[in-house]
A and B are shown apart, each in its own frame.
Chain A
């Protein structure tokens, strides 16, 4: 039949040519997407240098160096005596080794090809390379939901969306670098396994699930998403043997495989987080059996009997689980898990979790910042999936709901929301484009009303038109006169098409600009090296490395350095010195000990320092430069964590002024002024300003002029901009006096002796 076309199409091309060209275009587009994904993550390398970022990556890098130089078995059995001094840490059994193993394999492959690439560069560039793979996995996943064009859009979105870039810029060598690829690819394989009912895909899902378990603690998300999907399908009456095959093969192989990772161990059969998957596994066995029997018997009575027995078995199973949890055989949910449901939980019971900034609830603007216009298209895509609601669309809907909630609870879980936002937004946008690019014009005679309505709606603004279109689609889906309406659905005229498509292109363009801007300004800072923009150009502030190298070059190899746990990995990685606590916060008491030492007066702190063989104490101080992530700002967390263990020695209210303010100027409470942290931060700080006011630029307060004095510590090193200050712990007095008395004696007798010179540049 002859449909009228809005614009002419070439008619003398064979379908094979069209298909081949389309696949070529797809491949080329995909190459460009990969290139863009990798290139936009290189801002950090271009602006700064090829350096490992932040905190955790430093540990991963250090572990990878051990793996690359000593081999896999040494790495597996690695006991690190320098971490958590004097306890040490069994590294092989307390990490997710997937990331290091991946880098190690790449390193060995490249070296066997005689490409002598430095391990550091592999670590730095691993995340950008895997982002291209993530784009591919997202393409495959979205293709299952809609079609190839939606897949390409989704791949382009995930390639450059800031929500994912934030954790995967070059140098951000963290577990998430490979985990998001594994997440999406495991989900893709699961959808395939479920759709085809193929045990092969189920096995592959299990294998990639194993890789994911080995790579990231967030694997629990998969452990619960897949059962949730299977359960939802079963409750919707959509159980098929395909579902049984896919789920059972995944669970049986994946669970056994996940227990091979030493850090996971027996958790899959022992903790409540994993019980949902086991329960659904059992449920599917029962349902499959019932289905099988139903084929053989049609007796009503027997079916009732089965129904009753299924319910009885279900109740019994639940009771058994509850009973086992009660008897302690199954561990109840962990604190981290509770803090997902009750956002105040962590602050009350586990301050160490609440003290991490990425565990805070997400601020609303960051949704726009991280996802830009995708966040508007996201609900539209979910609605479209809901409208079609094939088995795989149920997965998208569940994923969208669950991940939205989690992203609202914790900033870092934005990362798990981002892929599904990209997928849904791509589905929505590609539906819009499909509708408006389609050249077929509906019959004008009976489509008048519709077309008029569409024309009107598209002219004011395209976002309104998208909503209009979606409501149209949804209502047409549910209305009884669906078929008749469908025949005359469509767009008339080129102007309407032009407006909508131009609008869509405009949004995409703004998206690209926004992503590039956010990536280059917000997410590409290594945080080891800081940059400040001054009138005369960009200044690099390199205090951290300056101080760490000072430690490395001027202290004995076994000198123990105490600092707050944030800097443990960096000290181990860059200064190569033993630390008391680090970012692997496994021992709360040990951290509380450091917190107590920092928040106590010198006389109390000194025995703690001596007992732990501490030679140097390192504090981060931003008051001179206005660097707000310093230890004084983190100080209250140290107090809180110490208070959790020694409630009668450390009390948080004592660190506030009587008015309840947290101050560091002359109104500060005496407990605050006498604490080791305060003294170490502001020691000799007022001297910098001559007679002027010693202004702390972070807190905007004036430090009282005769600054704090130190009796038990000596200033050993202060970096150029005072960000890192290192103090040496004095040994006991040779004459057996207490150090305070000895100090006073020295001062009284030798007033003229000057202090040992300390390299310092005054920046008034």
Chain B
């Protein structure tokens, strides 16, 4: 498939948007060519299944993920439409949202009870500690790069 070499900021944003939205129907999939009625039905089932099967802690994490995606999208739109002038500042801001997003998404999958068998070496407490360490390191570089 064409995936391997894909992506740039734009498609990363698409990917981020896509990955971020367990809580709201994915825009990328709704724009894909498919029978409209069938897809809306499928999306409704998905939404229902999500509300039903997800613990509230994970929903909280998901809400944070959505916030990060929105923040990243706003920064990107600003960069494209207005200016990218302090490019390092834009990169730092955007990287902080993307980095925080993937770290939070990692935390989400590590503490997800369904993935317990997958992460034998990472207990939920350890996962949170990893998350904190990763975020601190990330934001150290972000602050250094803001300029």
Contacts and interface: CB of A to CB of B under 8 A. Distances in A.
Interface of A: 196-200, 202-203, 206-207, 231, 235, 240-242, 244-245, 248-249, 251-253, 255-257, 259-260, 266, 269, 275-276, 278-283, 285-286, 288-289, 292-293, 295-297, 299, 301-302, 305-306, 308-318, 320-321, 324, 330
Given A252-B99, A296-B46, A289 B19 contact: yes
B102 A313 contact: no
A372 B29 CA distance: 56
Nearest 10 pairs of A and B residues by beta carbon: A317-B6, A282-B7, A317-B11, A248-B102, A252-B99, A314-B3, A285-B15, A289-B19, A199-B130, A309-B32
B141 interface: yes
Contacts of A206: 137
Interface of B: 1-12, 14-16, 18-22, 26, 28-29, 32-34, 38-39, 42, 45-46, 49-50, 53, 87-88, 91-92, 95, 98-99, 102-103, 105-107, 109-110, 114-115, 118-119, 121-122, 126-127, 129-131, 133-134, 137-138, 141-142, 144-145
Contacts of A280: 4
B6 A313 contact: yes
B91 to A, nearest CB: 7
Given A241-B109, A245-B106, A318 B5 contact: yes
Nearest to A203: B134
25 contacts: A198-B130, A199-B103, A199-B110, A199-B131, A248-B106, A249-B103, A249-B106, A249-B134, A252-B98, A253-B141, A256-B95, A269-B91, A275-B5, A276-B4, A279-B4, A285-B12, A285-B19, A288-B109, A289-B15, A289-B21, A289-B26, A293-B26, A297-B45, A313-B15, A314-B2
Contacts of A296: 22, 46, 49-50, 53
Contacts of A289: 15, 18-21, 26
Contact of B12 (A256, A278, A306, A308): A278
A-side binding surface: helix, strand, loop or mixed? helix
B109 A245 contact: yes
B122 to A, nearest CB: 5
A200 B130 contact: yes
Point out which of A276, A309, A311 has the most chain B C-beta atoms below 10 A from its C-beta.
A309
B77 to A, nearest CB: 16
B118 A253 contact: no
Given A241-B109, A248-B106, A305-B29, A199 B134 contact: yes
Contacts of B53: 295-296
A322 to B, nearest CB: 9
A276 B5 contact: yes
Nearest to A232: B4
A287 to B, nearest CB: 8
B7 A256 contact: no
Contact of A321 (B7, B32, B129): B7
Given A203-B133, A297-B42, A292 B8 contact: no
A281 B12 contact: yes
A249 B102 contact: yes
A309 B28 contact: yes
A316 B11 contact: yes
B19 to A, nearest CB: 4
A313 B91 contact: no
Contacts of A297: 42, 45-46, 49
B49 A320 contact: no
B130 A313 contact: no
B7 A317 contact: yes
A397 B18 CA distance: 32
A205 to B, nearest CB: 11
A202 B110 CA distance: 14
